[in-house]
Amino acid sequence: MIGPCSFFLRSRSDAVRRRPAGGLLIAASFALLSAPGASLAASVRGTVSVEQATIRTDGPKHDRDVVVMLERVGGGEYPPANGHAQMDQRGLVFIPHVVAIQKGSTVTFLNNDNDLHNVYFLDERTGQTLDIGTWGPGVPVDHRFPTAGTVIVLCKLHLEMAAYVVVSDSPWFTAAQIDPSTRKASFSLANVPPGEYLLRVWHKKLKLLGGPARVVVPPNGGVDVPVVLTTAGRAGKGG
């Protein structure tokens, strides 16, 4: 799995408080990036299915979100991030519940409530935390995530609030939601250079059956990758 975030070594000065923005800002998911300068590229698409497991499909803390990521086999450098995402606080809820970004990207944390809000991060692997501050309505605060990993977003003033920032090492990732009726989610990763990759799927409760899937991407066209999410006990090692 992607490694723990090193943002815990950075000071609170990394959170940049900006002037209040006018009007209601709508939270947006991070857009999928393509590899600049790649003369040959293909798409990786497929369906994520939930099998022999239950998920919560309603409410602000639902379990429908999945993040699909590709990593080059053998490592290597990736194109730098140039994206930006937002996570709002409205009605004592983080919106959206899951944000996916590439490492090095910035997330703007908004407050469109009538209350003070706090944002602090919890590394779900190590338990380390980082508090980026408390601020009032209409004040956006930026935070950059320099390392891949999964971060739980919490508010010290409202303990019922929780969300996730999933930080991908590579630019080939996408977020999708499981359909409650079919228990499936479709995904598509565009502009993937040819080569050998590992496909990983993040879900806050379930694991990928059999572990990361090995994918060979052709010079053009596409490749279909069906994947299954299930309980950790059924998934096996590496799931």
The reported pLDDT for the residue numbered 39 is 54
Domain containing residue 105? 40-235
Q: Would you say residue 25 lies in a domain?
A: no
pLDDT, tens only, 154-185: 999 999 999 999 999 999 999 999 999 999 99
Q: Would you say residue 27 lies in a domain?
A: no
Q: Give 173's contacts (C-beta < 8 A, 6+ positions apart).
A: 32, 67, 68, 69, 70, 100, 102, 189
Q: Domain count for the chain, please give it.
A: 1
Q: Would you say residue 203 lies in a domain?
A: yes
Answer yes or no: are the C-beta atoms of 146 and 122 closer than 8 Å.
Answer: no
Q: Give 7's contacts (C-beta < 8 A, 6+ positions apart).
A: 14, 121, 130, 143, 144, 145, 146, 147, 151
Q: Would you say residue 26 lies in a domain?
A: no
Q: Would you say residue 101 lies in a domain?
A: yes
CATH of the domain at 178: 2.60.40.420
Average pLDDT along the chain: 84
The reported pLDDT for the residue numbered 237 is 53
pLDDT, tens only, 129-154: 999 999 999 999 999 999 899 999 99
The reported pLDDT for the residue numbered 32 is 33
- Residue 211's CB is within 10 A of a number of other CB atoms, namely 15
- Residue 27's CB is within 10 A of a number of other CB atoms, namely 21
| Distance (Å, whole) CA 94 – CA 178 | 19
